[in-house]
Amino acid sequence: MQTRPLDPTADWMFFHDLQPLAAANRVLIRPLTEESAAALWCELVSADPRERHTMLLPAGHWVGNRTAAGPNWQVYWNDPGRPDDVAEFLRSQIDWPDEAEVCFIEMRERAALVPWGVFLRTWRAFLFRDEDPFVVRPGRPEFVVFGPTGYCGVGRRPARPTYPTGFRG
């Protein structure tokens, strides 16, 4: 999978003052090229080119297979001074090591690789665009989804027998 450097224009959310990121965290966020994001989407989500966003997936798709609901992420996004119950909920539900590389996926053309621990520390910066993005770790069934009304949920998806090319899960 091909990544590209963060770009202050294309990836403005990682440079925004409202949810500032430490440089040490920012350098670990690696956006995929559009081509690699599309390949990842095809491998993990849907090969149908009409289904390029979670809102376009059919009923019964695994992204709707949520097994636990967490706190309203918008409450914590709007008040970074509160204890981070969102990250605490995710840690309690998903046992991924902090260094595990996960995929934050917004849609077919937009995805980024990030260590799970970095995502947990910086999830607010990822949610400026909040139309059902989700986090997966290829080869693992668990996933996280964030809804536009503040819904935060975890679920299980069908396990894939192989990792996408170039993934360091």
Q: Would you say residue 3 lies in a domain?
A: no
* CA–CA separation, 147 and 11 (whole Å): 20
What is the pTM (predicted TM-score) of this model?
0.89
Q: Model confidence over 44-62: pLDDT tens digits?
A: 888 898 888 888 888 888 8
Q: Would you say residue 6 lies in a domain?
A: no
Q: Would you say residue 167 lies in a domain?
A: no
Q: Would you say residue 161 lies in a domain?
A: no
Number of domains in the chain: 1
* CA–CA separation, 64 and 67 (whole Å): 9
Q: Would you say residue 119 lies in a domain?
A: yes
Closest CA to 29 of 121, 134, 129: 121
For residue 65, what pLDDT is reported? 81
Structural domain harbouring 71: 12-156
